[in-house]
Amino acid sequence: MKVLGIDIGGSAIKAALIDTLTGEIVGDRLRIVTPSPATPETFTRVISGIRRQLNWQGPIGCGFPAAIRQGQVMTAANINASWIGTNVVTLFNTATGCPVTVVNDADAAGLAEILFGSGQNCSGTTLMITTGTGLGSALFHNGNLVPNTELGHLRLADQVAEDYASAAVKTREGLSYQEWAGRFNLYLQRLEELFWPDLFIIGGEISKEHLQFFPYLSVATKVVPAKLFNDAGIIGAALSVRQHTF
Ligand code: BGC
């Protein structure tokens, strides 16, 4: 079954058709800079444009950078506050004329890794952390997702963790890999104390550069990069259409 997967992030919106049986990308990827302001209107225009460009008529799965409950946007850390309370499923559905599923972006990436990536056949607790503009989290126990964990909003060093340790902060503050990894390691240590995971999977754009910062991580838990790297978000968004039970 083919599904259009769309990964909506703080800096880019990425899309591709996905074969949900194999988790593979079919054809080209599209990458569009996230519009500013990041409002319901501007995002809806981009999503409709993607559908038109790919001439797609069929199911669409979206990963969205917020907690999503029953299709409704509950938080707005890196998007415009006017999203809060909006039913994003109804909005995108009406705009595209296609059946749309929307889940949290990190949950989507985690789903892809659990089904086809570094988390396959993992028992116990797996915690996937994605980092780009924010810090996203996806918590699994024996392959089952607890959605919307929003662990990037824990407090660390007297601030919101994602304002201290996300990949965007590394760029913004001009930190070296070693300096940034020190902060990211503190974050993983905090998660370790709270969740006692068996495995951490690290995703997001920076996961491609894992050899540059993994040597500086000193948590006791096993840490692996996302096998699907940054494509986990698009693939998982599409997979959420058949896995959506939350
Ligand atoms: C949002 C999360 C999202 C993460 C990564 C955070 O700011 O609150 O919902 O998963 O960024 O995009």
Amino acid at 158: D
Is 66 touching ligand 1 by the criterion CB < 6 Å? yes
Q: Which helix (H) or strand (E) holds 168?
A: helix 167-172
Are 66 and 77 within 8 A, CB to CB? Answer: yes
List beta partners, residue 33: 12
Q: What is the CATH number of domain 2-107+231-243?
A: 3.30.420.40
For ligand 1, the distance from its centroid to the CA atom of residue 217, given in whole angstroms, is: 22
Residue 244 confidence (pLDDT) above 80 = no
Under CATH, to which class is 122-227 assigned? alpha beta
What per-residue string of b and e applies to 59-80 under the rule 16 or more CB within 10 Å gives b?
A: bbbbbbbbbbeebbbebbbbbb
The first and second tokens of residue 90, run together, are 């109804």
In CATH terms, are 2-107+231-243 and 122-227 the same topology? Answer: yes
Nearest CA to ligand 1 atom 4: 136
Residues 6+ apart with CB under 8 A from 19: 1, 2, 26
CB atoms within 10 A of CB 95: 16
Domains of the chain by residue range: 2-107+231-243, 122-227
Q: CA-to-CA distance for 118 and 73, rounded, in angstroms?
A: 29
pLDDT the model gives residue 178: 98
At 92-112, the pLDDT tens digits run: 999 999 999 999 999 999 999
Pocket test for ligand 1, best of 104, 149, 154, 169 (most atoms within 8 A of CB): 104
At 17-69, the pLDDT tens digits run: 999 999 999 999 999 999 999 999 999 999 999 999 999 999 999 999 999 99
